[in-house]
Structures are given as structure tokens and as C-alpha cells.
């Protein structure tokens, strides 16, 4: 762990701190704050000092740490990200697209991809994604749909793929990459939730092994790094100057050495503890079976392969469907929090999502199973209402794109009540959460079916960012 070793060496020298950060390696920190965190955290929260290298142009310990990550993950070059997976996505979009060029992406893409398109000025080409109504799960685009789309393009394009989605579901990634390669299109994979895929064949195929040109991984999501730290892996040595330049734009010029050191440590730990991930995958499959024995609850395993476009799934990401209990996933998550002090990763109308790690905790599993059983019994006692109508954003047609997202973002705009938005051009993303599927993106015409959907979503207890203000941002004069 070259980066961590470099920081520890600096701390051991006991230099007098006449530089940033302002806490002076803890000497100027609030006493209670320092006591809470401990001296070592402050001593290692350093800046670009002699021997500590510079993330903007690494030549020393940061370069060595990035090279170690590249070797392990199978990349030609790896960049450390201190602004999350988002920074990697934005950088690739800035470097590999331009005003007027095309970016092909699933409609279920993370908002970071839309933001990157706004920054670059590119023209999005959205591909439809279908869902499994019974399980309430979004799927993936198909290789067939992607091939059809690429064959119709009349110019160069960047292809952005999602692998896996928030539910741990993975699609036909290798075939999709091959389809893009056939047309000489670069491929960026948002692999935010898949940094552990290379540890065992029980996991979906890693994006780099599938042939992706770029893979952005949120190391903090499943590995041991600190929140906000991530990797950007690149398979092309040529043309990386554009990536470096873009990263200088979207990343801080004062990156946290704690975040960077945590990436170095997370890579090392992942490399040393691959057997732990293998065990976690086995434990996940076992836990699914035990959960599914509870009346009214299903933790799908092989059933996940019935979701449109899905061919693999992450066994350490547990989806728990509670629809038969007559409650929503939101209600189930709140019951577990309140009654059993169990916090889940995410909830939606039908499901809970749990994330396992390389430490299989049998005691924690017992608490979870007992809690789910008690919750199910409680629902039965209260004579649950049965299945409810649940709106699905993936049943909507993709709206008409009137202007590019960048044009919509920079155009004069106004805020109008939803009832006055029909036929207007949106100037913002409207994405009900979870799972965060956009029903309207900047530059798209707001149609009646979208407004009706949002009314149903609201009535069912769903939310979306901006809902509370009761207004939507539209392009003025549209």
C-alpha cells in the first residue's frame, strides 16, 4: 500500500505544520472533535507536501497506488476519484463527447450521466428498459436493441452502459460491448456497484473483462474505502490526456489524502480477501432461501433471470419482495428500523434491498430473519389489504427530445405548477425515487401521460426530488 506507507512516513517525521489544512494536523482542531476521531486521522489529513505526490499529476506514491489498482483490476491505467463515481462518468463524457455528438444510454442511467451530457453538450439517444411487473424490478437494455440503435446512427457515438443496476442485476454486457466495438464506438460502463465482481466467478462478469474501454467503480459502495472515493479504470493508453484534463475540471485541486489512502487500502484488502467474497456469495444464496420460507415474502434468486434483459445477478445483493404482505417496501423498511433497528440499503414500492459484505454474520442474519418473520406475522394479524396498484416509470414511452439537455439547462427558465406544464419543455430531470428512473429529462416535452403517472406515483406514496415545491422548471416560452 504505497500511498498509506507514504502518509505514515510523513507523520513519523513529526514536521512542524505551517501549511494547510487549518486544523494543523489536529493541533488547532476542536478538542472534543479531536478526541472523538483520534489524533491519527488529523495527522494523516494532509496536503500536497514533499514526498506525498499530487493527484493532478502523480509521479510518486499516488502514481504507484494507482498502478497497483490498475494491475489488480486489469486496467491499462486507473485514476483515483475523490468526487465519487460521478467524477469518472463526467470526465469520460467530457473527454469522449462534444456538442452535437451522440451518447447512447439506457433510460435507467444514473443522473450523473445526464449531468455529463449537459456539460459536454452531446445529444442523448435513450434506449428503453423494461421491467418485471410481478417483482417490481427494472431490467436492462438488450443487445438486440443496442445493435438496432447503433446501426441507425449517422455519426460517432459514446455508448454508456449500466452494470449492474441498483438491484444487483446485470445484462448482456459482453454482447453489448461487442456491438459497440463493431461500430468503433467507445464504451463507458457505470460499474458503481460492481467493484467486487472480479473476486469470484460467482459474480457477474467485470466490465473490463467484457471489453469496456472505461469502467467507473464506486469503491466505497461495496469495498472498504471511505464514502466519496472511487476508481476510473481505462483500457486505452492512447487518448488519456483528455481524461486527465477532464478530471482536473471535475475533481478538487485539494483532494483528501484520507480518501485516496482508503482507496489504496481497499484495493489491497480486496486482493487479500477474495475468499471472503466467495463466502459472501454463498451466504447470500443461502440467506435468500431462508428468507423465502417466510410466508408472504420472497427473496428472488433464479427468478431474477426472468427480469427483461437480465442474464446475471450479484448474489451478495439481496432483494426482498414484500408485495404479498399488502405493504410497500417503504413501510417494511420503516418497520424494521423502528422495531428491530435494522437499516436496509434501499426500499421501493415492492422491495427491500440489502447489501452483504465479505464478512458473513450469522448472528446478524438471525436478527434479520426474526425481524422479517415478526413483520410478516404482524401484517397477517392486521389483515393486510393485499396487492395495491403500483405505478411503473418504465411503462412510459420515452418523451420527445425537443432540444439538448445542455440547451435546456442554459435556456431562460421559469417555475410553473405541474398542472400548467403540459406541452412545455422540461429544464430539469424528474426522476421518482427509488429507483431513480427519469420520467422526464431536460429538453423533453412534458406529455399528459407523464403528468398522470406522477399523480399516481404521488397517490401511491412515492416521491421525487423537487416534488415538495409543487413546481417544475421549464424552458421559458416553450
pLDDT tens digits for range 284-300: 999 999 999 999 999 99
* Model pLDDT, residue 388: 63
From the CB of residue 338, how many other CB atoms can be counted at a distance below 10 Å?
Answer: 9
Residue/partner pairs of 46-53 with CB below 8 Å, 24 or more apart: 46/7, 46/10, 46/21, 46/257, 47/19, 47/20, 47/21, 47/254, 47/257, 49/10, 49/15, 49/19, 51/6, 51/9, 51/10, 52/6, 52/7, 52/10, 52/257, 53/6
pLDDT digits (tens, 9 = 90+) for 187-245: 999 999 999 999 999 999 999 999 999 999 999 999 999 999 999 999 987 889 999 99
Positions in the chain short of pLDDT 50 = none
How far apart, in whole angstroms, are the C-alpha atoms of residue 283 and residue 291?
A: 12
Q: Which three cell numbers stand for residue 474?
A: 421549464
- Which candidate, 430, 74, 357, places its Cα nearest to that of 217? 74
C-alpha 116 chain-centroid distance: 14
Radius of gyration of the chain (CA): 23
* Model pLDDT, residue 423: 96
Q: Is 423 exposed, middle or buried (0-12, 13-18, 19+ CB in 10 A)?
A: exposed
Model pTM score:
0.95
Instruction: Say if CB 162 and CB 111 are below 8 A apart.
Output: no
Domains of the chain with CATH codes: 53-272 (3.40.640.10), 279-381 (3.90.1150.150), 393-475 (3.90.100.10)
How far apart, in whole angstroms, are the C-alpha atoms of residue 131 and residue 351?
A: 14
* Model pLDDT, residue 293: 98
How far apart, in whole angstroms, are the C-alpha atoms of residue 92 and residue 120?
A: 10
* Model pLDDT, residue 6: 93
How far apart, in whole angstroms, are the C-alpha atoms of residue 365 and residue 349?
A: 23
* Model pLDDT, residue 385: 52
From the CB of residue 461, how many other CB atoms can be counted at a distance below 10 Å?
Answer: 12
Amino acid at each position: 500500500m504505497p500511498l498509506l506507507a507514504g502518509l505514515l512516513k510523513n507523520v513519523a517525521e513529526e514536521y512542524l505544520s505551517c501549511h494547510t489544512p487549518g486544523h494543523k494536523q489536529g493541533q488547532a482542531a476542536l478538542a472534543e472533535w479531536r478526541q472523538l476521531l483520534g489524533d491519527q486521522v488529523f495527522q494523516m489529513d494532509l496536503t500536497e507536501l514533499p514526498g506525498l505526490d499530487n493527484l493532478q499529476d502523480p509521479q510518486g506514491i499516488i502514481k504507484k497506488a494507482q498502478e497497483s489498482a490498475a494491475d489488480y483490476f486489469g486496467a491499462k491505467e486507473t485514476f483515483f476519484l475523490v468526487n465519487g463515481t460521478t467524477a469518472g462518468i463526467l470526465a469520460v463524457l467530457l473527454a469522449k463527447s462534444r456538442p452535437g455528438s451522440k451518447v447512447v444510454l439506457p433510460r435507467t442511467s444514473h443522473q450523473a450521466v445526464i449531468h455529463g451530457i449537459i456539460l459536454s453538450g452531446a445529444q442523448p439517444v435513450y434506449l428503453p428498459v423494461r421491467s418485471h411487473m410481478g417483482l417490481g424490478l427494472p431490467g436492462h437494455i438488450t443487445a438486440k436493441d443496442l445493435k438496432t440503435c447503433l446501426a441507425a446512427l449517422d455519426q460517432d457515438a459514446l455508448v454508456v452502459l449500466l452494470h449492474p443496476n441498483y438491484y444487483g442485476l446485470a445484462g448482456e454486457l459482453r454482447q453489448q460491448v461487442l456491438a459497440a466495438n463493431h461500430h468503433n464506438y467507445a464504451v463507458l460502463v457505470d460499474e458503481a456497484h460492481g467493484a467486487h465482481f472480479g473476486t469470484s466467478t460467482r459474480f457477474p462478469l467485470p466490465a473490463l473483462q467484457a471489453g469496456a474501454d472505461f469502467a467507473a467503480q464506486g469503491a466505497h459502495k461495496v469495498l472498504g474505502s471511505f464514502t466519496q472515493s472511487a476508481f476510473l479504470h481505462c483500457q486505452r493508453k492512447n487518448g488519456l490526456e483528455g481524461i486527465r484534463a477532464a478530471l482536473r475540471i471535475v475533481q478538487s485541486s485539494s483532494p483528501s489524502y484520507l480518501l485516496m489512502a482508503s482507496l489504496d487500502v481497499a484495493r489491497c484488502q480486496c486482493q487479500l480477501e477474495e475468499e471472503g467474497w466467495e463466502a459472501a456469495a454463498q451466504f447470500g444464496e443461502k440467506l435468500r432461501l431462508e428468507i423465502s420460507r417466510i410466508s408472504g415474502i420472497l427473496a428472488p434468486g433464479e427468478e431474477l433471470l426472468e427480469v427483461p434483459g437480465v442474464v446475471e445477478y450479484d448474489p451478495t445483493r439481496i432483494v426482498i419482495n414484500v408485495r404479498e404482505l399488502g405493504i410497500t417496501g417503504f413501510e417494511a423498511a420503516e418497520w424494521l428500523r423502528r422495531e428491530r433497528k435494522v437499516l436496509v440499503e434501499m426500499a421501493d414500492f415492492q422491495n427491500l434491498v440489502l447489501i452483504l459484505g465479505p464478512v458473513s454474520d450469522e448472528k446478524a442474519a438471525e436478527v434479520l430473519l426474526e425481524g422479517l418473520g415478526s413483520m410478516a406475522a404482524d401484517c397477517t394479524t392486521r389483515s393486510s389489504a393485499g396487492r395495491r396498484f403500483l405505478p411503473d416509470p418504465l411503462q412510459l414511452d420515452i418523451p420527445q427530445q425537443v432540444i439538448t439537455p445542455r440547451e435546456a439547462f442554459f435556456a431562460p427558465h421559469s417555475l410553473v405548477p405541474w398542472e400548467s406544464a403540459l406541452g412545455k419543455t422540461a429544464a430539469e430531470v424528474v426522476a421518482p425515487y427509488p429507483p431513480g428512473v427519469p420520467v422526464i429529462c431536460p429538453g423533453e416535452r412534458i406529455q399528459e401521460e407523464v403528468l398522470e403517472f406522477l399523480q399516481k406515483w404521488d397517490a401511491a406514496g412515492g416521491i421525487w426530488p423537487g416534488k415538495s415545491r409543487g413546481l417544475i422548471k421549464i424552458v421559458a416560452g416553450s
